Structure 1
Amino acid sequence: MTGTEASPSFRLAYVPGVTPAKWVRIWNERLPDVPLTLVAVSAAEAFDVLRDGGADAGFVRLPVDRTDLSAIPLYTETTVVLVPKDHVVTAVDEVSTDDLADDIVLHPLDDTLGWERLPGQPAIERPATTEDAVELVAAGIGVLVLPQSLARLHHRKDLAYRPVTDAPESRVALSWPEEKTTDLVENFIGIVRGRTVNSTRGRTPTSPASTPADAKAKPKRPDTGGGARRKPAAGKATGKSSGKSPRSGGSGGTRGGKRGKPRGRS
């Protein structure tokens, strides 16, 4: 971290299609004394807003110029084609770019997909914004390929969308000026990455000294008689009872009893 000073607020920029509500809620729970202010920006102006200090961090669309900005990729969006509700595309679950070969495919100036080659037939001119392109789709002038979140953002009852299996994809990232990685930025990074309230970046594990030595030692097993055998008490037999006194000289005596002298041979 390069900064430790307190800030009266945290400013979070976000581009169209991104919904930061979940992360804002967690921020308000963990840092209730630091207000979070949302700053809506277009995809094109997001990086200048971060560089000029208009926001402390922001949800942007990749690629990010890593010369002076840091970024953490978060997720990749599904790409869809937006069409009028009566378009033939609505009869299937998904399409490929080849299926759009006969359609006029609109290409707004704020497009975020980075096409190498746009599918379909080109329009006479490019719409200025995605919102303008949506209006043209509703008018039946063409179709529009875009990230699913933007299709949802510009939802209309007279339009529908379907996934495009082989189109470029848009990736969303959290970005901030590298030289302004403050404590508040680190806190927000932790929230986005799913760290718990008790975890911190670089937290050291619990010190061994804090745990009693006796608690770590393996408990001894109770004495179950498996060690050295005890000598039997005097006067007690160690084997099974034969019904005769162990001191008797009969055949039922113990093996360890005194044997008589052998008789001489005749």
Structure 2
Amino acid sequence: MAGGAKPRRGGRRAPTRGAGGAGGGAAGRPTRHDGASAGRGGQPTAGRGGQPTAGRSSQPTAGRSGQPTAGRGGTPTAGRGGKPAAGRGGAAAAEPRAGAAPPPGPFRLGAIEGATPGKWIDTWHERMPRTPLDLTPLTIADQREALVGRAVDAALVRLPIDPAGLHVIRLYDEVPVVVCAADSHLTAAAELTVADLAGEVVIAPRHAPLAVEIPDAATPRFAPPDTVADAIATVAAGVGVVIVPMSLARLHHRKDVEYRPLAEGPASTVALAWRDEGAGDPLVEAFIGIVRGRTANSSRG
């Protein structure tokens, strides 16, 4: 016992009243409830014989300092997860928070001409406000090189693309359309067929977004235009037609051309692609989740 404590009549000793003493509760007074309780120092209160009081159950409670008090069997109290419960002193290590902060970025996204990533980019900015997204325009000619050459982390590409070393998931298909001069006889129909194009000069630009076989089509007597925009400009001059995905017809629309859907024509598929070694990258995985429609709190699936 601490010095200055005198025994009462009957041989019992009163606990000291100093703060933090062996029997100290609040303001140095012993606690009054029945169970074994810890004082501010995490030590059990003294019973009549100077021994720690036993709680109603055989399991003790943790003191404020994080040290477990001893029960009747001397066993420390287990926390909810089977580990000693941590008090204010932090004796047990705190578990890390679920989910680590994403890398600072930026996330570099490539996008083929005509792709529409706007809604996914908006969602990215909502969920990842501190991680910038850099959008890089791509052409069919350079879409694969941008990925394997690490110029971008992932890209919206137009199929077909050589899948070697890449992960590729199909996103959506685009309707093929026939672009013709505004005064062409082809504009009389709301929809065209392959048979309607017999005898027409069908222009295909270099690295054409669509490969379409038109029986009985006339062969152009000039070199293929470099781009879709150049091909549409040629059509606007009254020479031939060009078949492209609808998004490109809209992108390069001008007053002197019209376009009509091509029934039974081949669809153009837009896909998301990333490098094999990019699998597991937190920014790539975050964008994949957005594209696949996962919510911010949903697990990967």
What's the TM-score, normalizing by structure 2?
A: 0.63
Distance in 1 (alpha carbons) for counterparts of 2:245 and 2:175: 6
On the 8 A contact 1:105/1:122 being kept in 2, the answer is yes
Gaps of 5+ in 2: 1-100
1:183 aligns to what? 282
Shift of 1:119: 6.0
Distance in 2 (alpha carbons) for counterparts of 1:10 and 1:183: 10
1:75 aligns to what? 172
1:57 aligns to what? 154
- CA deviation map 1:48-86 (0-9, x unaligned): 001111111000011232220101100110000001111
- CA deviation map 1:7-38 (0-9, x unaligned): 42100000110121111000000000100000
Distance 1:112 1:59, change over 3 A: same
- CA deviation map 1:126-181 (0-9, x unaligned): 11211110110010011111100000000101111000112222100000001112
Shift of 1:196: 0.9
Shift of 1:197: 1.2
Once superposed, which parts of structure 1, at least 4 consecutive aligned residues long, lie more than 3 Å away? 115-119
The answer to whether the aligner puts 1:109 opposite 2:210 as a matched pair is: no
Q: Provide the aligned length of Structure 1 versus Structure 2.
A: 199
2:182 aligns to what? 85
What's the TM-score, normalizing by structure 1?
A: 0.71
On the 8 A contact 2:178/2:259 being kept in 1, the answer is yes
The answer to whether the aligner puts 1:196 opposite 2:285 as a matched pair is: no
Distance in 2 (alpha carbons) for counterparts of 1:128 and 1:42: 11
**RCO comparison, higher one (Cα < 8 Å, 6+):** 1
Gaps of 5+ in 1: 203-266
Local SS of the residue matching 1:73: strand
The answer to whether the aligner puts 1:147 opposite 2:245 as a matched pair is: yes
For 1:129, give the aligned amino acid: T
Shift of 1:6: 2.2
On the 8 A contact 1:97/1:120 being kept in 2, the answer is no
On the 8 A contact 1:64/1:71 being kept in 2, the answer is no
Identity over aligned pairs, percent: 45
Distance in 2 (alpha carbons) for counterparts of 1:173 and 1:36: 19
Larger radius of gyration: 1
Distance in 1 (alpha carbons) for counterparts of 2:156 and 2:227: 19
On the 8 A contact 1:80/1:162 being kept in 2, the answer is yes
On the 8 A contact 2:176/2:262 being kept in 1, the answer is yes
